[in-house]
């Protein structure tokens, strides 16, 4: 039944996040979280937090966090925008820069939230097919458009494109803003951050949710030239001034200072990923080479949906999309070595069971 006022409702087709199951014995390899905790300094900030500080509104500019990031990445504080996770940052970017009747461009297989934002902000979009190896063709991005966004490495494929591709797309589109979503870049890609000096239309987005083990703190940021960041802040301050809470600001700033811990954690995850690639290949899986903290794998024989359900029955959660071109694949987040051992043993059981029939 429809109510009379429904004609005026902004109807949305929302993004579906991965499940957050809880309970004992769950192995969660479905949302690309980091299996290791944030550094000790973050624990100290939480322990020392004075509850009286909670009375006050947080700093609207997240100054401590912005300055820590500016120092870490060698840019001016005026070139950084902070948001509540990179989802918030990208949502603000869509609202600010994708404001034309020409289509926003992104790959056909990519982060499914892009389409959701395009819909909610009522901007047209056009998806450009990746090739059979899930690679982008930069020539596709030389058509009329109202902006461009893509992740590098891409999600859910894990495929990393070289900086030359980013540069070719940015150079070919001086009249549109090009957003590179670098949520997974720390796991083996090279950030295109230095290119923001050369291309005034280029903006990069990163997150604390993956490489910095802080998905629950909701911290994301964009880096670009001062003018882009000013427009972005003008929109943000027209929607909600107090987005980032006080504790996340403090914990985020602490995390950025712990570079040795950060690099060690990344090294562990990369090693586990490379081991997991070998073991999955031995079991008959194939996958595009991943430079992210997940592997996008299909099995030669066994159906992905069945593997997904059989893993879930064993309390191992991975991600599966029943969508064209990718329904044969599972996206498996890299956990600890122990978690990956359990996954591989479970997969052996599931696959051998099938082959006995």
Least separation in angstroms between residue 206's CB and ligand PMP is 8
* CA torsion through residues 62, 68, 69, 74, sign: positive
Task: Decide whether 203 or 310 has the Cβ nearer to ligand PMP.
Answer: 203
Task: Decide whether 111 or 285 has the Cβ nearer to ligand PMP.
Answer: 111
183, 202, 266, 347: which one binds ligand PMP (CB under 6 A): 183
Rg of the chain, C-alpha, whole Å: 21
151, 158, 189, 288: which one binds ligand PMP (CB under 6 A): 151
181, 287, 297, 318: which one binds ligand PMP (CB under 6 A): 181
Q: Are 217 and 325 in contact (CB under 8 A)?
A: no
Residue with tokens 């297989």: 109
Least separation in angstroms between residue 19's CB and ligand PMP is 13
Q: Are 296 and 288 in contact (CB under 8 A)?
A: yes
Q: Which stretch binds ligand PMP (CB under 6 A): 122-130, 139-147, 207-215, 336-344?
A: 207-215
Q: Which stretch binds ligand PMP (CB under 6 A): 73-81, 83-91, 226-234, 243-251?
A: 83-91
Task: Decide whether 247 or 344 has the Cβ nearer to ligand PMP.
Answer: 247
Q: Which stretch binds ligand PMP (CB under 6 A): 82-90, 163-171, 247-255, 266-274?
A: 82-90
41, 70, 215, 270: which one binds ligand PMP (CB under 6 A): 215
Question: What is the Cα 301 distance to its own chain's centre?
Answer: 30
Q: Which stretch binds ligand PMP (CB under 6 A): 85-93, 133-141, 165-173, 245-253?
A: 85-93
Q: For residue 127, what is the enclosing H or E element?
A: strand 125-128
CA distance 216 to 245: 12
Residue 209's SS3 state is coil
Please report the DSSP string for 214-225 in residue order: -GGG--EEEE--
- Does position 85 interact with ligand PMP (CB under 6 A)? The reply is yes
Least separation in angstroms between residue 106's CB and ligand PMP is 11
Task: Decide whether 21 or 349 has the Cβ nearer to ligand PMP.
Answer: 21
Q: Are 146 and 102 in contact (CB under 8 A)?
A: yes
Q: Which stretch binds ligand PMP (CB under 6 A): 20-28, 81-89, 167-175, 253-261?
A: 81-89
Q: Which stretch binds ligand PMP (CB under 6 A): 6-14, 80-88, 186-194, 311-319?
A: 80-88
Residue with tokens 């030239």: 225
Q: Are 262 and 294 in contact (CB under 8 A)?
A: no
Binding to ligand PMP (CB under 6 A): which residues in 265-324? none
Binding to ligand PMP (CB under 6 A): which residues in 153-172? 155
33, 79, 87, 92: which one binds ligand PMP (CB under 6 A): 87
- Does position 207 interact with ligand PMP (CB under 6 A)? The reply is yes
Least separation in angstroms between residue 35's CB and ligand PMP is 16
Residue nearest to ligand PMP (CB): 85
Binding to ligand PMP (CB under 6 A): which residues in 39-68? none
- Does position 30 interact with ligand PMP (CB under 6 A)? The reply is no
Question: How far, CA to CA in Å, does 1 sit from each of 4, 5, 6, 131?
Answer: 10, 12, 10, 44
What are the backbone dihedrals phi and psi of residue 267, each rounded to the nearest 5 degrees, phi first? Answer: -60, -40
Alpha helix (H) residue ranges in 74-162: 85-97, 113-120
Residue 2's SS3 state is coil
CA distance 341 to 323: 29
Q: Are 190 and 13 in contact (CB under 8 A)?
A: no
Q: What is the dihedral of CA 129, 132, 137, 142, to 10 degrees?
A: -20
**Site residues (CB under 6 A) for ligand PMP?**
85-87, 111, 151, 155, 181, 183, 207, 209, 215, 220
């Amino acid at each position: 039944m429809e109510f009379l006022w429904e004609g005026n409702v902004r109807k949305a087709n929302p993004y579906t996040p991965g499940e957050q199951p809880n309970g004992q014995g769950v192995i969660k390899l479905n949302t690309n979280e980091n299996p290791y905790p944030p550094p000790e300094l973050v624990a100290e900030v939480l322990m020392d937090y004075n509850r009286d500080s909670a009375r006050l509104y947080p700093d609207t500019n997240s100054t401590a966090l912005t300055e820590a990031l500016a120092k870490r990445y060698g840019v001016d504080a005026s070139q950084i925008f902070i948001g509540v996770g990179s989802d918030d940052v990208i949502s603000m970017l869509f609202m600010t820069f994708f404001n034309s009747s020409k289509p926003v461009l992104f790959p056909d297989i990519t982060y499914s939230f892009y389409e959701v934002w395009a819909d909610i902000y009522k901007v047209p979009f056009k998806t450009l097919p990746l090739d059979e190896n899930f690679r982008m063709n930069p020539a596709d991005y030389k058509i009329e458009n109202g902006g461009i966004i893509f992740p590098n490495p891409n999600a859910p494929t894990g495929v990393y494109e070289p900086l030359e591709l980013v540069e070719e797309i940015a150079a070919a589109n001086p009249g549109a803003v090009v957003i590179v979503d670098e949520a997974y870049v720390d796991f083996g890609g090279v950030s295109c951050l230095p290119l923001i000096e050369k291309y005034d239309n280029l903006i990069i987005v990163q997150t604390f949710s993956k490489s910095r083990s802080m998905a629950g703190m909701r911290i994301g940021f964009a880096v670009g030239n001062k003018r882009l960041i000013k427009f972005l802040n003008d929109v943000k301050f027209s929607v909600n001034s107090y987005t980032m809470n006080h504790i996340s600001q403090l914990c985020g700033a602490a995390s950025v200072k712990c570079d040795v811990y950060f690099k060690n954690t990344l090294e562990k995850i990369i090693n586990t990923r490379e081991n997991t690639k070998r073991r999955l290949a031995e079991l008959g899986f194939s996958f595009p080479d991943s430079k992210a903290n997940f592997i996008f794998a299909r099995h030669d024989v066994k159906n992905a949906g069945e593997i997904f359900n059989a893993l879930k029955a064993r309390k191992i959660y991975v991600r599966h999309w029943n969508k064209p071109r990718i329904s044969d694949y599972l996206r498996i987040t890299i956990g600890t070595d122990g978690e990956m051992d359990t996954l591989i043993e479970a997969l052996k059981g599931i696959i051998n069971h099938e082959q006995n029939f």
